[in-house]
A and B are shown apart, each in its own frame.
Chain A
Amino acid sequence: DAMVIQNPRYQVTQFGKPVTLSCSQTLNHNVMYWYQQKSSQAPKLLFHYYDKDFNNEADTPDNFQSRRPNTSFCFLDIRSPGLGDAAMYLCATRGQGGNQPQHFGDGTRLSIL
Chain B
Amino acid sequence: GENVEQHPSTLSVQEGDSAVIKCTYSDSASNYFPWYKQELGKRPQLIIDIRSNVGEKKDQRIAVTLNKTAKHFSLHITETQPEDSAVYFCAASTHPGGKLIFGQGTELSVKP
Q: Please give the residue numbers on chain A whose beta carbons come within 8 Å of chain B beta carbons, in ascending order.
A: 31, 40-43, 45, 48, 90, 94, 96-107, 109
Contacts and interface: CB of A to CB of B under 8 A. Distances in A.
A98 B96 contact: yes
Interface in B95-111: 95-97, 99-100, 102-105, 107
A105 B45 CA distance: 9
B105 A106 contact: no
B102 A43 contact: yes
A45 B100 contact: yes
A26 B34 CA distance: 23
Nearest to B102: A42
A106 B41 CA distance: 8
B42 interface: yes
A104 B45 contact: yes
B96 A104 contact: no
Contacts of A103: 46
Given A101-B34, A103-B46, A104-B43, A42 B97 contact: no
Contact of A102 (B100, B103, B105, B107): B100
B44 interface: yes
B43 A100 contact: no
20 contacts: A40-B105, A40-B107, A41-B104, A42-B103, A42-B104, A43-B89, A90-B43, A94-B96, A96-B97, A97-B97, A98-B97, A101-B46, A101-B96, A102-B46, A104-B36, A104-B43, A105-B43, A106-B42, A106-B43, A109-B41
Given A31-B97, A43-B89, A101-B49, 12 more contacts: A43-B100, A45-B99, A48-B99, A90-B44, A97-B97, A98-B96, A98-B97, A102-B97, A104-B36, A106-B42, A107-B43, A109-B41
Contacts of B100: 43, 45, 102
B7 to A, nearest CB: 14
Given A99-B96, A101-B96, A42 B105 contact: yes
A40 B97 CA distance: 25
